[in-house]
């Protein structure tokens, strides 16, 4: 383990998380990575996210490190009562169930107004207050109706982004709201009800395109068809067509450096191309020249020249290529985790440095209910109570080894 909890910014913040899939778990992940004690409440048998196939297979390992697991049957009165006692001692509750589900269980915000008035109650939802708030929603639904899919694909072919960007960004906004509410609690002593949503998050992300319409009078075109603000801002083939490179020359000084390093003396000397907007108007002439230039280089050689020039550039990579990335391997941005079946995996760290360090792994991924006994004991349940809850099936946890007292 890399850090002790007490060394981290959110040490001593207690979080009880009722969530699955991505948005709620990503909120809990961020808080846990920053040092909060996050208790993940799973159903008996475990969160079904653990067993998703295809593109969902990576959800659980990515968004549930540094948490503890307790398995509770929220369909039983005893299970709900145990969950309530945990929440009554928590600083933050996270939930992303369907609208009304937590209220129906007796675990809604109003249920803790007296017993835990300082609680920050966070709900990750599809929509904020309004006509749509009771609709079911998914990341892809929000991208489609929020204009992001339209902007990502070519005309007539709306395309979702290639990651759960709205789930994760919505969770990030949730963290912002939670931290703001905790700071307010320092002054008022009172908690708050915080909500973030997929739809409003999507609207925020496409806000720049809405603003573009206001500024220019022209609606934004999908990104594959956009008129770029820069002449050289595209993907180029190298000597091997499958090894592509993005190049962005976004300032007049970068243009001078780019043309100098690549020996484009005639373009460097052309005063008509000295300013960005003039180069944009000459884009149809400049782009073929740069495309031909790029094809004359092996990718690694082209990347070296681009780095020398100081322009923005990037090799086109696949997610798995990041595992071998020199930068991510040098700065600790890839974390070693152990899956619950014992296999090892490397996954990205929280992308925030604090005092020069990235948050690391303090707790590996937990099996369902692995911490049930210890959590209940540390949160004030007596040994007899715990045994009774286990016997009733209201909670589940690992068996006590023969000859050893429960700890």
Report how far apart, in Å, the C-alpha atoms of 72 and of each of 79, 96, 376 are. Answer: 6, 16, 11
Distance CA 304, CA 295 (A): 15
Q: Are 106 and 77 a contacting pair, CB within 8 Å? A: no
The reported pLDDT for the residue numbered 7 is 86
The reported pLDDT for the residue numbered 407 is 41
Q: Are 295 and 239 a contacting pair, CB within 8 Å? A: yes
**Residues 55, 124, 48: CA angle, nearest 5 degrees:** 40
**Buried-exposed string 235-264: b where 16+ CB fall within 10 A, e elsewhere:** ebebeeeebbbebbbbeeebbebbbeebeb
Domains of the chain: 5-205+326-396 (3.40.50.10540), 228-318 (3.30.1540.10)
Query: Cα dihedral angle (64, 65, 70, 73), rounded to 10 degrees?
Result: 10
Do the bridges between strand 37-42 and strand 14-18 make them parallel or antiparallel, or are there none, so unpaired?
A: parallel
The reported pLDDT for the residue numbered 406 is 44
Report how far apart, in Å, the C-alpha atoms of 85 and of each of 12, 46, 188, 202, 369 are. Answer: 18, 21, 24, 36, 17
pLDDT per residue as tens, the chain (407 positions): 334 677 899 999 999 999 999 999 999 999 999 999 999 999 999 999 999 999 999 999 999 999 999 999 999 999 999 999 999 999 999 999 999 999 999 999 999 999 999 999 999 999 999 999 999 999 999 999 999 999 999 999 999 999 999 999 999 999 999 999 999 999 999 999 999 999 999 999 999 999 999 999 999 999 999 888 899 999 999 999 999 999 999 999 999 999 999 999 999 999 999 999 999 999 999 999 999 999 999 999 999 999 999 999 999 999 999 999 999 999 999 999 999 889 999 999 999 999 999 999 999 999 999 999 999 999 999 999 999 999 999 999 876 554 444 44
The reported pLDDT for the residue numbered 399 is 61
The reported pLDDT for the residue numbered 1 is 37
Distance CA 181, CA 176 (A): 9
In terms of residues, how long is the chain? Answer: 407
pLDDT tens string 195-230: 999 999 999 999 999 999 999 999 999 999 988 889
What is the set of active-site residues? 167
The reported pLDDT for the residue numbered 405 is 46
The reported pLDDT for the residue numbered 226 is 83
């Amino acid at each position: 383990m890399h850090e002790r909890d007490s060394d981290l910014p959110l040490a001593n913040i207690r979080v009880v998380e009722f969530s699955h899939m991505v948005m709620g778990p990503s909120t809990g992940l961020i808080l846990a990575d920053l040092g909060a004690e996050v208790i993940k409440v799973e159903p008996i048998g475990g969160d079904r996210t653990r067993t998703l196939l295809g593109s969902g297979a990576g959800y659980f390992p990515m968004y549930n490190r540094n948490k503890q697991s307790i398995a509770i049957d929220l369909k039983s009165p005893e299970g709900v009562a145990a969950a309530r006692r945990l929440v009554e001692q928590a600083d933050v509750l996270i939930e992303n169930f369907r609208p009304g589900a937590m209220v129906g269980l007796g675990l809604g915000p109003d249920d803790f107004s007296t017993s835990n008035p300082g609680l920050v109650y966070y709900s990750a939802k599809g929509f904020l207050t309004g006509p749509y708030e009771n609709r079911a929603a998914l990341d892809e639904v929000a991208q489609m109706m929020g204009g992001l899919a339209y902007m990502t694909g070519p005309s007539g072919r709306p395309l979702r982004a290639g990651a759960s960007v709205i789930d994760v960004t919505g969770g990030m906004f949730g963290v912002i709201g939670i931290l703001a509410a905790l700071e307010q609690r320092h002054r008022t002593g009172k908690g708050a009800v915080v909500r973030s949503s997929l739809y409003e998050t999507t609207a925020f992300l496409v806000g720049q395109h809405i603003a573009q319409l206001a500024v220019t009078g022209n609606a934004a075109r999908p990104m594959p068809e956009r008129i770029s603000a820069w002449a050289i801002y595209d993907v180029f083939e190298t000597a091997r067509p499958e090894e592509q490179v993005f190049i962005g020359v976004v300032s007049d000084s970068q243009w001078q450096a780019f043309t100098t390093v690549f020996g484009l003396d005639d373009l460097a000397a052309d005063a008509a191309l000295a300013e960005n907007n003039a180069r944009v108007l000459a884009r149809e002439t400049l782009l073929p020249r740069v495309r031909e230039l790029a094809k004359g280089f092996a990718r690694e050689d082209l990347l070296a020249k681009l780095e020398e020039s100081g322009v923005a550039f990037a090799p086109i990579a696949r997610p798995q290529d990041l595992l071998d990335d020199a930068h991510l391997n040098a700065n600790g941005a890839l974390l070693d985790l152990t899956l619950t079946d014992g296999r090892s995996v490397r996954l990205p760290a929280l992308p925030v440095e604090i005092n020069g360090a990235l948050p690391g792994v303090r707790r590996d991924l937990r099996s369902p209910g692995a911490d049930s006994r210890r959590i209940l004991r540390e949160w004030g349940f007596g040994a007899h109570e715990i045994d009774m809850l286990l016997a009733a099936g209201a909670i589940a946890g690992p068996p006590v080894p023969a000859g050893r007292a429960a700890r």
